[in-house]
Structure 1
Amino acid sequence: MTVSAEPLETLHRSDRPLLMAATLAPLGRGRGDPCHRVTVDGALWRTTLMPSGPVTCRLVQADRYSVLVKAWGAGAGEFLGSVPDLLGEYDTAQDFAPDHPILVEAHRRHPGLRIPRTGRVFESLVPAILEQKVHGIAARASWRRLVTAHGAAAPGPAPDGMRVPPPPEVWRRIPSWEYHRAGVDPKRSRTIVTAAAVADRLEEAVALSRAEAAGRLQTVPGIGPWTAAEVGQRALGDADALSVGDFHLAAVVGWSLLGRPLDDPGMVEYLEPLRPHRYRAIRLLEVSGRAVKPKFGPRTAVTDHRMH
């Protein structure tokens, strides 16, 4: 544990139920994520790189409506100003009216689930690119290795091993062979480097409409609708961002809600009445434990791109 100056802190209070752990869970990239850690006391630790500098934050659910937030680092003050967005304070489900009993019940049981909005586009984009068309285990291992090697030490009393995500200029300078050793094939590494070169333009997506933001992201070669949706879900607080093209999602939606598999066009058609809350419906399936997909064979093998 590395201790620095006293933290800045705030108690975020909402007039609606707030389920912090479930709301922020999609921001983590596996149990070993060096930027996202849940400790045995139930606290959630995160690191981020704000325009004003690096930040380590610790979030604890104080009661059903409140979260205590402490932040260390040069960007702590700026980060505290973003806490309402991070905790989905401006996300509303008032017009969300599903008719499927599973979704109705999940929505009733989890009124505190929100869609977070980190406002950090590039930080959400890099892990999404790493997850393109590869096994999640491999993608998370690549993220862990690259951030650990190239990210800065987390300020404040961060748990051991936590790092601050590298800035775009660092991602641009990582040699191709280091990406290769981290299991990242040339196509994905090239996409990261290309995106890093226009990171300032991509960050402007936070001020654009949903469609404009997705279009801005997809001007980068190698970024398609799936990756743009993954960024929208985390950085932009988009409750409708549906990850079309995901290897499992359409089948999960079909088996969970219809008792049979769906393909992508079938999923899009089936979820159309839930606009603009399609991603919210997916999250409700996940947090309620009702997201299912039967296993028909052995687990997909993890491809080792270091051998290519």
Structure 2
Amino acid sequence: MSSRFAPRPTRTTVRGGETAIPQGMPRQATASRTRTWTPHYPLDLGLTLGPLRRGPSDPTFRTTPDGSAWRASRTPEGPGTLRVALRTGTAEAEAWGPGADWLLDRLPHLLGDADAPEDFTPRHRLLAATAHRRPGLRLTRTGLVLESLIPSILEQKVTTDEAYRAWRLLVRKYGEPAPGPTPPELRLHVMPDPRTWTLIPSWEWHKAGVDNKRASAILRAARVAARLEEAAAMEPLQAQARLELIPGIGPWTSAETVQRSNGAPDAVTVGDLHLPGIIGYALAGDRRADDEAMLALLEPYAGQRHRAARLILLSGRTPPRREPRMRVGNIAPL
């Protein structure tokens, strides 16, 4: 095992500071907070934070060649930008904006400190081999619901490319530039606040390729955003139940959300077009498995079924494609 991922005792340092001020930029715009934190476990930053990224051009999540991950979030304290990188096993983080302290306070949870992979016992050699090859996988916990819920709603019943495009267009048009001296080429944006989501005109949803059903679900969620954000502090099943009170949010969407907001290790994504076949093929050679068969195969991993699914997806063992890809829709020109 490389020294980068060698377990080390937890150590935390927090300090205030300022970055160099680019010419012409107001001084207060560059005030930053920094924190270093050393996990006591192997950590792969890409695997852990990867689920938060909605496509390669996600305006709220970007990576840079130096290995840094940049996130723009709307926290309870306001917009914030977080840059985090691993240096010899230590997470070095810097944050800007009103939400900077909130983001830094929760850095350990973001990097999987609340996760318990030791509770997972592989019962299939594929899972055992993948877990051995991926010791740095941790389940992230953002503590933020809407930033995972809205893109999950956009992903309902469409291709990922369509959903990523809609998220990108809406965030860039109705969000705001991320605070701090972020590299301009990243074009990092904070997603719109709940009120702004409710004010997006119907034709703009249409131009982004979002049908009325998904747009209406997002509007209903945005109107009760404060109540939904409370779900981040609940047990995952309670959190899913809270989300599913909103028409248009079902088990698929709630699971996709709490996997990220709550770090839920057992939240299984049911109702997915491809996942049952992937899990059925990996564990039983059954590429035609449905949700019922998938849940039966994952039953030995109760309490850790989402982790089992992540490991299967990371294993690369997927059924050969025999059917055409899902057709890409485009409602914008209609």
C-alpha change, 1:33 and 1:202, in structure 2 (3 Å) is same
Which secondary structure state, in structure 2, belongs to the residue aligned with residue 305 of structure 1?
Answer: coil
Kindly provide the amino acid, as one letter, of the partner of residue 227 in structure 1: T
1:105 aligns with 2:129: yes
1:139 is aligned, of 163, 170, 182, to 163
Which secondary structure state, in structure 1, belongs to the residue aligned with residue 56 of structure 2?
Answer: coil
Counterpart residue number, 1:15? 40
Largest Rg, 1 or 2: 2
Tell me by how many angstroms 1:300 deviates.
2.1
Kindly provide the amino acid, as one letter, of the partner of residue 285 in structure 2: G
Task: Provide Cα deviations, 1:160-197, integer angstroms capped at 9, x if missing partner.
Answer: 31100111111011111110110000000000000101
Q: Is the 8 A contact 2:59 2:171 kept in 1?
A: yes
Which secondary structure state, in structure 2, belongs to the residue aligned with residue 12 of structure 1?
Answer: strand
Give distance in 2, aligned partners of 1:249 and 1:152. Answer: 35
1:264 aligns with 2:291: yes
Give distance in 2, aligned partners of 1:280 and 1:238. Answer: 9
C-alpha change, 1:291 and 1:167, in structure 2 (3 Å) is farther
TM-score (norm 1): 0.96
Q: Is the 8 A contact 1:232 1:238 kept in 2?
A: yes
TM alignment of 1:204-223, pairs within 5 A = 204-223=230-249
Kindly provide the amino acid, as one letter, of the partner of residue 28 in structure 1: R
Runs of 4+ with >4 A deviation:
none
More contact order relative to length (CA 8 Å, sep ≥ 6)? 1
Give distance in 2, aligned partners of 1:63 and 1:202. Answer: 38
Task: Provide Cα deviations, 1:25-80, integer angstroms capped at 9, x if missing partner.
Answer: 0000000100011112221111101111111111111124x211111111101110
Tell me by how many angstroms 1:254 deviates.
1.4
Give distance in 1, aligned partners of 2:128 and 2:231. Answer: 32
Counterpart residue number, 2:97? 73
Give distance in 1, aligned partners of 2:299 and 2:323. Answer: 31
Give distance in 1, aligned partners of 2:310 and 2:68. Answer: 21
Give distance in 2, aligned partners of 1:55 and 1:225. Answer: 30
Query: Structure 2, unaligned stretches of length 5 or more?
Result: 1-20
Q: Is the 8 A contact 2:283 2:297 kept in 1?
A: no
Aligned length, in residue pairs: 306
Query: Structure 1, unaligned stretches of length 5 or more?
Result: none
Kindly provide the amino acid, as one letter, of the partner of residue 237 in structure 1: G
TM alignment of 1:222-233, pairs within 5 A = 222-233=248-259
Give distance in 1, aligned partners of 2:110 and 2:103. Answer: 9
Kindly provide the amino acid, as one letter, of the partner of residue 226 in structure 1: W
2:61 is aligned, of 36, 39, 43, to 36
1:275 aligns with 2:293: no
What's the RMSD between the two structures over aligned residues?
1.5
TM alignment of 1:235-250, pairs within 5 A = 235-250=261-276
Which secondary structure state, in structure 1, belongs to the residue aligned with residue 326 of structure 2?
Answer: coil
Give distance in 2, aligned partners of 1:207 and 1:34. Answer: 26
Identity rate, percent: 44
Q: Is the 8 A contact 2:60 2:189 kept in 1?
A: yes
Q: Is the 8 A contact 1:256 1:290 kept in 2?
A: no
TM-score (norm 2): 0.88
Q: Is the 8 A contact 2:207 2:333 kept in 1?
A: no
Tell me by how many angstroms 1:93 deviates.
1.5
Tell me by how many angstroms 1:87 deviates.
0.8
Counterpart residue number, 2:15? none
C-alpha change, 1:291 and 1:34, in structure 2 (3 Å) is farther
TM alignment of 1:42-191, pairs within 5 A = 42-64=67-89, 66-159=90-183, 160=185, 161-191=187-217
Which range moved further: 251-260 or 134-143? 251-260
